[in-house]
Chain A
Amino acid sequence: MSSATEDKNILARWWGALKRPSTRYAAGSLLGAGVVAGIVLWGGFNTAMEATNTEQFCISCHEMEENVYREYQNTIHYSNRSGVRATCPDCHVPKEWTHKMVRKIQASNELWHKMLGTIDTPEKFEGKRLKMAQSVWHSMQKTDSRECRNCHEFDSMDYTKQGRRGRAQHIEGFDAGKTCIDCHKGIAHSLPAMVEVDPSAVMGDGKRHR
């Protein structure tokens, strides 16, 4: 009881001090201190944001390094003729600030499951692969594949430089209002068992039709 009153007193004193103009410090010093504190806090925030936005940080978790990172190393987004590489955050973290913050906050769920060990073995990872893949596909469909379009913009495509199949399907797909991920699934990581997504494109179970 007494400690609660004390707490209230401390809070009240702080609040009082914040409300009253300072009589001890010059406005200039307060402003200066505020500016310095602002730079340090914002700089620190930004540095932490940048540090958690590197491939090195992503693959510091073995769940990422041993599964999706190794799969990605066999794909064109890792190694290609012109040497332009898209790393984890290029595709999985939005560039624009607001969306980036939203994604960073959502990532706390990933930290939680890291602690729970939800996907800490290859078997567990495989068991959750469809669910995780569908979640990424879904969010990319919602944003019209925003992260793809940071590099691949429909309007910048020269159809005459594309292969026949690509040209035909791109034109048709864009006309139908499709977005990149609608067709380009599994281009950077192994696909999950697709039996629920497209039962016609998986190994049959050897059973006759009943």
Chain B
Amino acid sequence: MNKSLVLGGVLVIGLLGTTAVCAADPAPLRGDGDIWSSTDVVQWQDRDPIPRDYVQQPPMVPHTVEGYTVNLKVNKCLTCHSWANYKEKKATKISQTHFSDREGNDLANVSARRYFCSQCHTPQADAKPLVENLFQPLPAISNR
């Protein structure tokens, strides 16, 4: 028998096998739900400042932050919330705590450990909580 014929046969069988493996979709981690259908979650856009629920809670972001870049070169949040800009932009200014390093020294600009805003300050969405939450805000700082 011709050598190339054998080789071709092996290739065809190999290809068929691969196709069979690919055809069997792995079970999706998300479950069987349709991932393309839109959710009812609506991003909060441009609200008043959100009341805080406990002492030293980082204020939440009452607006969308889509496309806002925060990297080593630039911080989009600070173009409104920095001390130099907040008055003109009518925004909340970042607190003085953001200027101290971990030794407690006051720095001339925002400290690296307080620079990446969304580590603590998050935009909110009108989403149903996944689990029940019995947390009650402190009456002393919240009138809810």
Assembled-state Cα–Cα distance A187/B69 (Å): 10
CB–CB B107/A201 < 8 A: no
Residue interface bits B26-46, CB-to-A below 8 A is 1, else 0? 000000000000000000011
Min Cβ gap A158→B in Å is 16
Residue A68 CB within 8 A of the other chain? no
Residues of A within 8 A of B112 (CB): 203-204, 206
CB–CB B73/A192 < 8 A: yes
Given contacts A191-B69, A209-B107, contact A164 B83 (CB under 8 A): no
Assembled-state Cα–Cα distance A206/B99 (Å): 9
CB–CB B106/A165 < 8 A: no
Which one of B51-59, B84-92, B123-131 is at the interface? Answer: B84-92
CB–CB B46/A191 < 8 A: no
CB–CB B101/A206 < 8 A: yes
CB–CB B107/A190 < 8 A: no
Residues of B within 8 A of A199 (CB): 84, 109
Residue B122 CB within 8 A of the other chain? no
| Interface members, chain B 39-80 (any A CB < 8 Å) | 45-47, 63-64, 67, 69, 72-76, 78-79
CB–CB B108/A190 < 8 A: no
Residues of A within 8 A of B84 (CB): 198-201
CB–CB B82/A168 < 8 A: no
The residue of chain B having its C-beta at the shortest distance from the C-beta of A164 within the complex is B46
Q: How many chain B residues have a CB neighbour from A under 8 Å?
A: 31
Min Cβ gap B80→A in Å is 9
CB–CB B82/A208 < 8 A: no
Min Cβ gap B109→A in Å is 3
How many inter-chain contacts with C-beta < 8 Å in the A-B complex? 88
CB–CB A190/B115 < 8 A: no
Assembled-state Cα–Cα distance A199/B78 (Å): 10
Min Cβ gap A194→B in Å is 4
Min Cβ gap B97→A in Å is 14
Residues of B within 8 A of A168 (CB): 90
Min Cβ gap A176→B in Å is 10
Assembled-state Cα–Cα distance A165/B112 (Å): 28
Given contacts A168-B90, A198-B85, contact A191 B74 (CB under 8 A): yes
CB–CB B105/A201 < 8 A: no
Residues of B within 8 A of A76 (CB): 67
| Interface members, chain A 151-210 (any B CB < 8 Å) | 163-166, 168-169, 186-187, 190-194, 198-210
Residue A134 CB within 8 A of the other chain? no
The residue of chain B having its C-beta at the shortest distance from the C-beta of A183 within the complex is B79
For B79, B83, B105, which residue has the most chain A Cβ atoms within 10 angstroms?
B79
Min Cβ gap B87→A in Å is 12
Residue A73 CB within 8 A of the other chain? no
Residue A75 CB within 8 A of the other chain? yes
The residue of chain A having its C-beta at the shortest distance from the C-beta of B86 within the complex is A200
Choose among B64, B76, B82, B111 the residue that contacts A200 (Cβ–Cβ < 8 A): B82
Assembled-state Cα–Cα distance A186/B73 (Å): 12
Assembled-state Cα–Cα distance A198/B73 (Å): 11
Choose among A165, A191, A203 the residue that contacts B110 (Cβ–Cβ < 8 A): A203
* B-binding residues in A (CB < 8 A): 74-76, 163-166, 168-169, 186-187, 190-194, 198-210
10 contacts between A and B (CB under 8 A): A163-B45, A201-B78, A201-B82, A202-B109, A203-B72, A203-B110, A204-B111, A204-B115, A209-B106, A209-B107
